[in-house]
Structure 1
Amino acid sequence: MVRWFLFFLSVAALSSCASTAGDSKSRAELHMTIGNSHFEKGNYPYALQELLKAEKLDPQNPLIQNNLGLIYYMRERYDLAEKHIRRAIQLEPKFSDAKNNLARILIDVKKYDESERLLQQALDDLTYAGGDRAWFNMGYLKFSQEQWGPAKNAFEQSLKLIRDSCLTNNYYGRTLFELKDYKAAALNLDKAVGFCQKQLFDEPHYYSALAWYRAGDPAKSKARFKEIISLYPDGKFREKARAMLQLLEKGVK
């Protein structure tokens, strides 16, 4: 699941004028650029190798610390991820991207209060261009705490900024499902299906099927379960979909 949240973390990039600070800094920036390229392609071991070289050359660079933290996050080393991104914020206290990234990590380790404070700081920064990510993370924070109303509001704010997000539409639909607004949940999860299918992310398909069943449309529910089996042979929800389809075909409620 972790890799899907890559889209709501932010790899820091260098400005084109940063290479004038000296040879070691220039070499560090080159390694960081190569590392970022590997990161975006999902080549995390190679990305880590390059970022560690960059850190050795320029240990006080907050962008390098931020990106190291993200690599460790994607490798599910949350302790090291938290350490490096905290260091990035210490080096650059107004680094809103790093605050947003750290907030996301803290949700996973259930440090909810600090996560919310960091997200609010990022959202209060009117110069921050990642508002859609910060609102998504706020929604995910509230979703993780089963605070469905605040989660719904936060996801709606994110969708105002980016309408075609796979994850935001998925979690917005799931939140509506938890609020028992099953028809609206089904419709929004169907939107998520369209955005997520090319990424082979089957979660919205599964919850769409459940939502259509709860909304009183077993035919659409069956169709969605069948799609999961045919479209996602290695999907997380394939076996659950098969079991649910068998129950529906037996007429079990």
Structure 2
Amino acid sequence: MPKTLVNPRSSSLRASLALGAVVLSFGCASRGASAPGAQSEERQSDAEYDVARDFFGKHQYRAALDHARKAVELNEENARAAYLTAVIYLAFCSENDRSPDCKLGEAEVFARKAVKSDDRFRDAKNLLGNVLILEKKYPAAIEVLEPLTKDPGYIESHLAWGNLGWAQMEAGQVDAAIASLKNAVTQPRFCVGHYRLGRAYEKKNDLPQAETSYSNALAVESADCQGLQDAWDARGRVRLRLGRGAEAKADFEKCRELSPKTPTGALCAKALASLGGGT
């Protein structure tokens, strides 16, 4: 079954949120028409893909990457293997964006391979948009994502809207971002979308709406969503500016409790110290 992945406690928020808006839908490997002599390599590619998928599910990313890349080498048309390879590179970035295994350029290469191999692979287009945002190629990301939001065949359209809004916000198109992100959160459990909408409202200095959106993100009954450390920090920051110091302090405490060792956790600890609640 497809699922979304959020790793909110990672030190690399941007990559973590990118994974939070990617569908990890690794079904059977794609099989295009081929000459009989190529069948052996196709089957080998499918087998390598299955092994890679298994390692990925166990969070053994280096082993997964080796097998996923091998699957693509054996069959350049194996779109799901290319997609998985790109996702693995993002997973490395999610864990540590300074890791030598965090290679956004490679993630883009394989995401493009997946789209080229199967133009109907909508999740791959969404993934490509994610990677382009992380590479700060915002106009290119918007170009990929905008048509995807209008594609009636994409059942995960809230993810495309969320990523389009993210790209627009990073490009300075805040009003357009808010419009896109409102579409994203028509899926009410999309906490990453609520969080980004809060960011957009905060950029506009609309603090009441920002506080509401951050609260919506944290209200989703999911351990991943309620563990979205940056949302706790952001809501605390906004509540402090709204003059609601006691509530802000509670948010910063929850943020620090999630992990005091991340950059966000350190910010929350600093905020608590300034409020007289640090140790």
TM bin, normalised by shorter chain, reads 0.7 to 0.9
| CA deviation string 1:210-247 (max 9, x = no partner) | 11112221111112112223343334322212222232
| CA deviation string 1:84-109 (max 9, x = no partner) | 22222222233322222111111122
Match of 1:177 in 2: 202
Judged with a 3 Å threshold, the aligned counterparts in structure 2 of structure 1 residues 11 and 31 are, in CA distance, closer, same or farther, namely farther
User: Aligned equivalents of 2:210 and 2:58: distance in 1?
Assistant: 32
Which secondary structure state, in structure 2, belongs to the residue aligned with residue 237 of structure 1? Answer: helix
User: Aligned equivalents of 1:93 and 1:19: distance in 2?
Assistant: 13
Q: CA deviation at 1:208?
A: 0.5
The within-5 A match list for 1:136-155 is 136-155=162-181
Match of 1:34 in 2: 51
- Number of equivalenced pairs: 249
Q: Please say if residues 202 and 235 of structure 1, whose CA atoms lie closer than 8 Å, have aligned partners that are also in contact.
A: no
Please identify runs of 4+ aligned residues in structure 1 that moved more than 6 A: none
The within-5 A match list for 1:65-144 is 65-75=82-92, 76-144=102-170
User: Aligned equivalents of 1:187 and 1:124: distance in 2?
Assistant: 27
**Residue 205 (structure 1) aligned with residue 232 (structure 2):** yes
Structure 1: runs of 5+ lacking an equivalent: none
Farther-moved stretch of structure 1 (240-249 vs 169-178): 240-249
Q: Please say if residues 194 and 213 of structure 2, whose CA atoms lie closer than 8 Å, have aligned partners that are also in contact.
A: yes
Match of 1:8 in 2: 21
| TM-score normalised over the length of structure 2 | 0.79
User: Aligned equivalents of 1:83 and 1:74: distance in 2?
Assistant: 16
Judged with a 3 Å threshold, the aligned counterparts in structure 2 of structure 1 residues 20 and 105 are, in CA distance, closer, same or farther, namely closer
What code does the residue aligned with 1:132 have?
A: H
Cα RMSD, aligned residues only: 2.6
User: Aligned equivalents of 1:225 and 1:12: distance in 2?
Assistant: 35
| CA deviation string 1:119-152 (max 9, x = no partner) | 1222232112221111111011012123221111
What code does the residue aligned with 2:192 have?
A: L
Farther-moved stretch of structure 1 (136-145 vs 233-242): 233-242
| CA deviation string 1:174-204 (max 9, x = no partner) | 2222222212222321232344982343100
Kindly indicate which of the two structures has a greater share of residues assigned to helix: 1
Q: Please say if residues 29 and 80 of structure 2, whose CA atoms lie closer than 8 Å, have aligned partners that are also in contact.
A: no
User: Aligned equivalents of 2:136 and 2:25: distance in 1?
Assistant: 25
| TM-score normalised over the length of structure 1 | 0.86
| CA deviation string 1:55-101 (max 9, x = no partner) | 23322222222222222233321111111222222222333222221
User: Aligned equivalents of 1:72 and 1:106: distance in 2?
Assistant: 13
Q: Please say if residues 69 and 82 of structure 2, whose CA atoms lie closer than 8 Å, have aligned partners that are also in contact.
A: no
